């Protein structure tokens, strides 16, 4: 009896101690709860209650071909952007590992600058560069590669060029972080043992870099799924992605029920991919 | 051999070429827009037929543009101050605290970085309409703060992680009170982390587009919102001037943060 009370007392004091430890984080916790968790929760509820209680909103989103097209489109763009960023990022990361650090620092500075330049500004720049009278079409015509301007904007091409640009830093950094921890001696040993460069690449370098590659690809894919500004400005009317659908349904058509249901489909897909990744590979710390 | 420059063979020139193209691709918009902002042609012709400062004049004199710049500055300062005030104590708890569910708390504080911004934006938009906060400075600060807070916590937290708590303890053994030790030993040591956190909080707020679009009304806009609204009607060169201002701020703040990192070493 006495022992039980004592145990309870130590448990209570332990809880009190933990409570006191947490106290300084309370303002930030309360803030995030009120400004972030609560509004998102209310939005979630609205997807089931407006205009009528039930799953009606979700039903129309997964049965109406207009909305299904948006979903397919979203996945298509995210996949295309992931592939194109990977093809660029792998050689860049490799370059950054082998060159003298002075050169690598300069390239890093460019990557960071691009990453921290306003999203809208970067998108606007591509809008101007890619338009019919823009610098890129002028250049192509000057080279004689084309006689009339190539439509590079207000279509899927524009969206993929712009999004690849924006996502590139997010995949170069994790691939570089993984590759820079590899020991060059490992590859030297393979070479001494008689392995050809091709074999070393496919059997050693690529597999060992895989954690960075997968982390970067997941990051780019998931971020691309939820992008709004870039597809809205560089894409055509038919290239709508799900984030645009959410924004337009709510801001333009005031259709809160359908809009919030679309938002939660997006959130669900995003979280599902993250959790699946964390389960499979473990938490990768962003660098 | 694949990770040693001298032994890589001619294959390395492929890497050089791809990186050179990528660097060009990354720099092109950032360099192109400031050049374009001096273009005399109303239609952004390229190459420019002449040069002018007209678009900057319009940016700094037209009521709507200059007003939106001031709003951006005000919001960014308020967000920075609030982010540090909230993040500093939270970072101490996350780094030094021993309690159940520490990993969960870490994940919770990082969660605004995972949820697509457009979802946070429409959720807050609903709240703003309901409580009559749309188009107020308060709504802008609250929304930007959600995104800035995780960066501030991570930045301060990583600085605190590398700080050896023994210094703080020895100050207390030498007779300093707990508060004195914190103020005179710990805080000065983690100052680079606090400054970096503040810089990034400022930049996140200054650059925020999606949340700002939903918090704005025609009478209260930040600079990115004004650019967005103008972009939807035409490609006026004033946008290029305004964009150059945003690029300039990024260059400035990243430069400062690089300087701090260097002096730290």
DSSP B205-225: HHH--HHHHHH-BTTB--HHH
* Mean pLDDT lowest among A9-23, A115-129, B82-96, B213-227: A9-23
Name the band, by pLDDT with cuts 50, 70 and 90, for residue A92.
very high
Going by C-beta distance under 8 Å and a sequence separation of 6 or more, which residues neighbour residue A103? none
Paired residues of B217 in beta bridges: B220
Q: What would the two tokens of residue B196 be?
A: 């970096």
Average pLDDT, chain B: 90
Is the distance from CB of A258 to CB of A57 less than 8 angstroms? Answer: yes
Distance, in Å, from the CA atom of B151 to the CA atom of B146, rounded to the nearest integer, reads 10
C-alpha to C-alpha distances, A144 to A132, A137, A139, B21, nearest whole angstrom:
15, 10, 9, 21
Write out the H or E segment, with its range, that includes residue A238.
none
Name the band, by pLDDT with cuts 50, 70 and 90, for residue A286.
very low
What pLDDT sits at residue A287?
A: 38
Give residues 139 to 198 of A whose Cβ lies within 8 Å of B: 165, 168, 179, 182, 184, 187-188, 191, 197
Q: Considering only CB atoms, which chain B residues are within 8 Å of A161?
A: none
Give residues 47 to 76 of A whose Cβ lies within 8 Å of B: none
Backbone angles phi, psi at A227, to 5 degrees: -80, 140
Mean pLDDT of B154-167: 90
Instruction: Tell me the three state secondary structure of residue B90.
Output: helix
Determine, for residues B3 and A250 on separate chains, whether the beta-carbon distance falls below 8 Å.
Answer: no
* Closest among B46, B222, B36 to B137, alpha carbons compared: B222
Mean pLDDT of A145-153: 87
Distance, in Å, from the CA atom of A113 to the CA atom of B23, rounded to the nearest integer, reads 11
What pLDDT sits at residue B74?
A: 96
Across the A:B interface, residue pairs with CB atoms under 8 Å apart total: 256
Give residues 154 to 193 of B whose Cβ lies within 8 Å of A: none
Average pLDDT, chain A: 89
CATH no., domain A65-281: 1.10.3720.10
Going by C-beta distance under 8 Å and a sequence separation of 6 or more, which residues neighbour residue A189? none
Is the distance from CB of A42 to CB of B124 less than 8 angstroms? Answer: no
Of B23, B89, B120, the CB nearest to A110: B23
Assign residue B163 a region (left: φ > 0; alpha: ψ between -120 and 50; beta: otherwise).
Answer: beta
Q: What would the two tokens of residue A273 be?
A: 């991919």
Give the distance from residue B159's alpha carbon to the nearest chain A alpha carbon, in angstroms: 14
Q: Considering only CB atoms, which chain A residues are within 8 Å of B127?
A: 38-39, 42
- Nearest 5°: the CA angle A56, A250, A269 is 65
- For the stretch B69-80, pLDDT in tens is 999 999 999 999
What pLDDT sits at residue A282?
A: 66
Backbone angles phi, psi at B49, to 5 degrees: -75, -20
Q: What would the two tokens of residue B265 be?
A: 């070493």
Please report how many Cα atoms fall inside a 13 Å half-sphere around the Cα of residue B149, on the Cβ side.
Answer: 28
Characterize B20-32 residue by residue with b for buried, 16 or more Cβ atoms within 10 angstroms of its Cβ, and e for exposed.
eebbebbebbbeb
Per-domain boundaries in chain A: 65-281
Name the band, by pLDDT with cuts 50, 70 and 90, for residue A2.
low
Mean pLDDT of A27-56: 92
Q: Considering only CB atoms, which chain B residues are within 8 Å of A100?
A: 5
Determine, for residues A92 and B98 on separate chains, whether the beta-carbon distance falls below 8 Å.
Answer: no
Distance, in Å, from the CA atom of B133 to the CA atom of B115, rounded to the nearest integer, reads 23
Q: Which residue has the higher pLDDT, B6 or A110?
A: A110
Q: What would the two tokens of residue A141 be?
A: 């015509």
DSSP state of B5: G
ipTM over 0.90: no
What pLDDT sits at residue A22?
A: 85
Q: Where are the beta strands (DSSP E) in B12-153?
A: none
pLDDT over threshold 70, residue B265: no
pLDDT over threshold 70, residue A3: no
* Closest among B155, B242, B144 to B199, alpha carbons compared: B155
Q: What would the two tokens of residue B55 be?
A: 């678009």
The verdict on A273 touching B (C-beta cutoff 8 Å) is: no
Mean pLDDT of B58-81: 94
Q: What would the two tokens of residue B40 be?
A: 């005399």
The verdict on B78 touching A (C-beta cutoff 8 Å) is: no
pLDDT over threshold 50, residue A266: yes
- Nearest 5°: the CA angle A159, A165, A169 is 140
The separation between the first and the last C-alpha atoms of chain B, rounded to the nearest angstrom, is 31
Please tell me which residue of chain B has the smallest CA distance to A115.
Answer: B26
Is the distance from CB of A177 to CB of A212 less than 8 angstroms? Answer: yes
C-alpha to C-alpha distances, B27 to A87, A126, B21, B34, nearest whole angstrom:
19, 12, 10, 12
- For the stretch B202-258, pLDDT in tens is 999 999 999 999 999 988 999 999 999 998 887 788 999 999 999 999 999 999 988
Give the distance from residue B202's alpha carbon to the nearest chain A alpha carbon, in angstroms: 12
Is the distance from CB of B75 to CB of B69 less than 8 angstroms? Answer: no
The verdict on B33 touching A (C-beta cutoff 8 Å) is: yes
pLDDT over threshold 50, residue A87: yes
Name the band, by pLDDT with cuts 50, 70 and 90, for residue A12.
confident
Mean pLDDT of A184-195: 84
Is the distance from CB of B71 to CB of B221 less than 8 angstroms? Answer: yes
Mean pLDDT of A203-220: 92
Is the distance from CB of B94 to CB of B109 less than 8 angstroms? Answer: yes
Distance, in Å, from the CA atom of B154 to the CA atom of B95, rounded to the nearest integer, reads 10
Can you spell out the DSSP letters for B155-223? HHHHHHHHS-HHHHHHHHHTT--HHHHIIIIIHHHTHHHHHHHHHHHHHHHHH--HHHHHH-BTTB--H
Q: What would the two tokens of residue A10 be?
A: 């130590």
């Amino acid at each position: 009896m006495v022992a039980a009370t004592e145990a309870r007392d130590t448990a209570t004091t332990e809880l009190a101690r933990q409570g006191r430890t947490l106290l300084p984080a309370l303002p930030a916790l309360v803030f995030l709860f009120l400004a972030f968790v609560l509004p998102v929760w209310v939005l979630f509820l609205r997807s089931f209650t407006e205009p009528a209680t039930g799953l009606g909103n979700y039903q129309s989103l997964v049965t109406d071909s207009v909305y299904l097209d948006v979903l397919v489109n979203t996945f298509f763009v995210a996949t295309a952007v992931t592939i194109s960023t990977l093809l660029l990022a792998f050689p860049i990361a490799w370059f950054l590992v082998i060159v003298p650090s002075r050169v690598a620092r300069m390239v890093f500075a460019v990557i960071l600058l691009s990453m921290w330049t306003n999203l809208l500004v970067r998108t606007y720049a591509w809008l101007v560069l890619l338009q019919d009278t823009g610098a890129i079409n002028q250049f192509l015509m000057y080279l004689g590669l084309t006689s009339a301007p190539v439509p590079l904007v207000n279509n899927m091409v524009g969206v993929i060029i712009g999004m690849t640009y924006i996502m590139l830093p997010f995949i170069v950094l994790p691939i570089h972080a993984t590759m820079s921890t590899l020991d060059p001696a490992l590859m030297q040993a393979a070479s001494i043992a008689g392995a050809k460069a091709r074999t070393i690449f496919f059997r050693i370098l690529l597999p060992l870099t895989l954690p960075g590659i997968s982390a970067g690809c997941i990051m780019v894919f998931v971020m691309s799924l939820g992008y709004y500004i870039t597809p809205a400005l560089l894409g055509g009317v038919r290239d709508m992605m799900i984030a645009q659908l959410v924004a337009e349904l709510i801001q333009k058509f005031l259709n809160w029920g359908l809009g919030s249901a679309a938002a939660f489909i997006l959130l669900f897909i995003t979280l599902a991919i993250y959790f699946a990744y964390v389960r499979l590979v473990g938490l990768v710390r962003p660098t | 051999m694949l990770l040693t420059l001298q032994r890589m063979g001619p294959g390395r020139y492929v890497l050089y070429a791809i990186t050179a193209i990528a660097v060009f691709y990354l720099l092109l918009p950032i360099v192109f827009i400031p050049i374009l902002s001096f273009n005399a042609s109303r239609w952004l012709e390229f190459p420019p037929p002449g040069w002018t400062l007209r678009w900057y004049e319009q940016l700094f004199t037209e009521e709507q543009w200059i007003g939106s710049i001031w709003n951006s500055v005000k919001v960014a300062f308020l967000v920075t101050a609030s982010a540090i005030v909230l993040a500093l104590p939270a970072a101490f708890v996350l780094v030094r605290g021993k309690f159940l569910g520490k990993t969960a708390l870490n994940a919770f504080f990082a969660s605004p970085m995972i949820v697509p911004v457009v979802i946070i934006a429409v959720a807050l938009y609903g709240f703003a309409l309901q409580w009559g906060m749309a188009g107020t400075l308060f709504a802008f600060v609250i929304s930007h703060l959600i995104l800035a807070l995780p960066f501030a916590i991570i930045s301060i937290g990583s600085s605190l992680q590398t700080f050896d708590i023994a210094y703080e303890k020895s100050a207390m053994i030498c007779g300093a009170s707990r508060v004195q030790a914190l103020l005179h030993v710990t805080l000065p040591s983690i100052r680079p982390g606090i400054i970096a956190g503040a810089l990034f909080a400022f930049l996140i707020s200054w650059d925020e587009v999606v949340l700002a679009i939903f918090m704005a009304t025609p009478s209260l806009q930040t600079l990115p919102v004004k650019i967005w609204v103008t972009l939807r009607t035409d490609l006026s060169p004033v946008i290029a001037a305004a964009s150059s201002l945003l690029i300039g701020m990024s260059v400035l703040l990243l430069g400062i943060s690089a300087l701090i990192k260097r002096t730290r070493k």
